[in-house]
Copies of this chain bind each other. A is one copy, B any other.
Amino acid sequence: MAEYITIRSSTKEQFIDITGLVQGVIDKMGIKDGLCVVYVPHTTAGITINENADPDVIGDIEGHLDKLVPGSGDYRHIEGNSPAHIKSSLVGHSVTIPIESGKLLLGRWQGIFFCEFDGPRARQVIVKLIKEV
Protein backbone atom coordinates (compact mmCIF):
# COMPACT_ATOMS: atom_id res chain seq x y z
CA MET A 1 0.00 0.00 0.00
CA ALA A 2 1.03 3.57 -0.61
CA GLU A 3 0.67 6.03 2.26
CA TYR A 4 -0.38 9.62 1.61
CA ILE A 5 0.95 12.58 3.59
CA THR A 6 -0.75 16.01 3.29
CA ILE A 7 1.49 19.06 3.46
CA ARG A 8 0.41 22.69 3.48
CA SER A 9 2.89 25.24 2.16
CA SER A 10 2.52 28.80 3.43
CA THR A 11 4.53 30.81 0.93
CA LYS A 12 5.21 30.78 -2.81
CA GLU A 13 8.52 28.94 -2.38
CA GLN A 14 9.20 26.82 0.65
CA PHE A 15 11.36 23.80 1.49
CA ILE A 16 9.60 21.74 4.16
CA ASP A 17 11.47 19.10 6.20
CA ILE A 18 9.31 15.96 6.03
CA THR A 19 11.89 13.47 7.37
CA GLY A 20 9.92 12.78 10.56
CA LEU A 21 6.70 12.26 8.64
CA VAL A 22 8.37 9.73 6.32
CA GLN A 23 10.02 7.85 9.21
CA GLY A 24 6.59 7.82 10.84
CA VAL A 25 5.14 5.91 7.90
CA ILE A 26 7.90 3.31 8.20
CA ASP A 27 7.23 2.95 11.93
CA LYS A 28 3.49 2.59 11.31
CA MET A 29 3.92 -0.02 8.56
CA GLY A 30 6.52 -1.96 10.59
CA ILE A 31 8.94 -2.42 7.67
CA LYS A 32 12.38 -3.59 8.84
CA ASP A 33 14.48 -3.78 5.68
CA GLY A 34 13.82 -2.56 2.18
CA LEU A 35 13.37 0.62 0.20
CA CYS A 36 11.49 3.83 0.82
CA VAL A 37 10.33 5.84 -2.17
CA VAL A 38 8.98 9.32 -1.46
CA TYR A 39 7.03 10.51 -4.50
CA VAL A 40 5.59 13.96 -5.31
CA PRO A 41 2.53 13.79 -7.60
CA HIS A 42 2.77 17.48 -8.61
CA THR A 43 4.35 19.40 -11.47
CA THR A 44 5.28 22.62 -9.63
CA ALA A 45 6.81 20.98 -6.56
CA GLY A 46 9.67 18.56 -6.10
CA ILE A 47 11.68 16.78 -3.44
CA THR A 48 15.31 16.79 -2.47
CA ILE A 49 17.69 15.60 0.23
CA ASN A 50 20.09 18.02 1.87
CA GLU A 51 21.36 19.39 5.16
CA ASN A 52 18.85 19.88 7.94
CA ALA A 53 21.24 21.39 10.52
CA ASP A 54 21.93 24.97 9.33
CA PRO A 55 18.75 26.45 7.77
CA ASP A 56 20.94 28.70 5.63
CA VAL A 57 21.84 25.66 3.50
CA ILE A 58 18.23 25.28 2.37
CA GLY A 59 18.00 29.06 2.05
CA ASP A 60 21.01 29.10 -0.24
CA ILE A 61 19.59 26.26 -2.38
CA GLU A 62 16.27 28.09 -2.74
CA GLY A 63 18.04 31.35 -3.52
CA HIS A 64 20.31 29.84 -6.11
CA LEU A 65 17.46 28.05 -7.85
CA ASP A 66 15.87 31.50 -8.21
CA LYS A 67 19.06 32.70 -9.90
CA LEU A 68 19.17 29.70 -12.22
CA VAL A 69 15.46 29.99 -13.07
CA PRO A 70 14.36 33.64 -12.77
CA GLY A 71 10.75 34.49 -12.08
CA SER A 72 10.33 36.39 -15.30
CA GLY A 73 11.67 35.51 -18.71
CA ASP A 74 10.50 34.54 -22.16
CA TYR A 75 8.29 31.76 -20.88
CA ARG A 76 5.24 30.80 -22.91
CA HIS A 77 3.14 28.74 -20.51
CA ILE A 78 -0.11 30.63 -19.99
CA GLU A 79 -0.32 30.09 -16.23
CA GLY A 80 2.89 32.06 -15.71
CA ASN A 81 4.44 29.51 -13.35
CA SER A 82 7.03 27.97 -15.67
CA PRO A 83 9.87 28.63 -13.21
CA ALA A 84 8.10 26.29 -10.77
CA HIS A 85 7.75 23.61 -13.45
CA ILE A 86 11.40 23.94 -14.45
CA LYS A 87 12.70 23.83 -10.87
CA SER A 88 10.65 20.71 -10.14
CA SER A 89 12.32 18.91 -13.06
CA LEU A 90 15.75 20.10 -11.93
CA VAL A 91 15.39 18.79 -8.36
CA GLY A 92 13.22 15.80 -9.27
CA HIS A 93 9.93 14.29 -8.14
CA SER A 94 11.09 11.39 -6.02
CA VAL A 95 13.82 10.24 -3.66
CA THR A 96 14.69 6.61 -2.94
CA ILE A 97 16.28 5.75 0.41
CA PRO A 98 17.32 2.35 1.78
CA ILE A 99 15.72 1.14 5.03
CA GLU A 100 17.59 -1.02 7.51
CA SER A 101 16.41 -2.23 10.93
CA GLY A 102 13.36 -0.02 10.56
CA LYS A 103 15.34 3.20 9.96
CA LEU A 104 15.95 5.35 6.87
CA LEU A 105 19.67 5.12 6.06
CA LEU A 106 19.97 8.91 5.84
CA GLY A 107 23.38 10.42 6.42
CA ARG A 108 24.05 12.22 9.69
CA TRP A 109 23.21 15.65 8.31
CA GLN A 110 20.58 14.65 5.75
CA GLY A 111 16.91 15.60 5.79
CA ILE A 112 14.15 15.00 3.21
CA PHE A 113 12.72 18.28 1.95
CA PHE A 114 9.44 18.76 0.08
CA CYS A 115 10.15 21.63 -2.34
CA GLU A 116 7.18 23.94 -2.88
CA PHE A 117 7.70 26.20 -5.89
CA ASP A 118 4.18 27.50 -6.50
CA GLY A 119 2.47 27.84 -3.16
CA PRO A 120 0.83 28.44 -0.90
CA ARG A 121 -1.37 25.37 -1.25
CA ALA A 122 -2.21 21.93 0.03
CA ARG A 123 0.01 19.20 -1.41
CA GLN A 124 0.32 15.43 -1.19
CA VAL A 125 3.38 13.27 -0.83
CA ILE A 126 3.22 9.52 -1.45
CA VAL A 127 5.39 7.16 0.59
CA LYS A 128 5.84 3.71 -0.94
CA LEU A 129 7.68 1.03 0.99
CA ILE A 130 9.15 -2.09 -0.58
CA LYS A 131 9.95 -4.88 1.85
CA GLU A 132 13.17 -6.77 1.28
CA VAL A 133 12.58 -10.49 0.91
A residues in contact (CB < 8 Å) with B:
1-2, 33-35, 37, 39-43, 48-51, 54, 56-57, 59-61, 63-64, 68-69, 73-79, 82, 85-86, 88-98, 100, 105-110, 126, 128, 130-133
A77 in complex: contacting residue of B49, B57, B90, CB < 8 Å: B57
Do A54 and B79 form a contact, CB below 8 Å, given A1-B100, A2-B100, A42-B107? Answer: yes
> What's the nearest-Cβ distance from chain B to residue A100, in Å?
5
What is the oligomeric copy number? 3
A39 in complex: contacting residue of B1, B41, B91, B98, CB < 8 Å: B98
Q: Which residues of B contact A41 (CB under 8 A)?
A: 105-108, 110
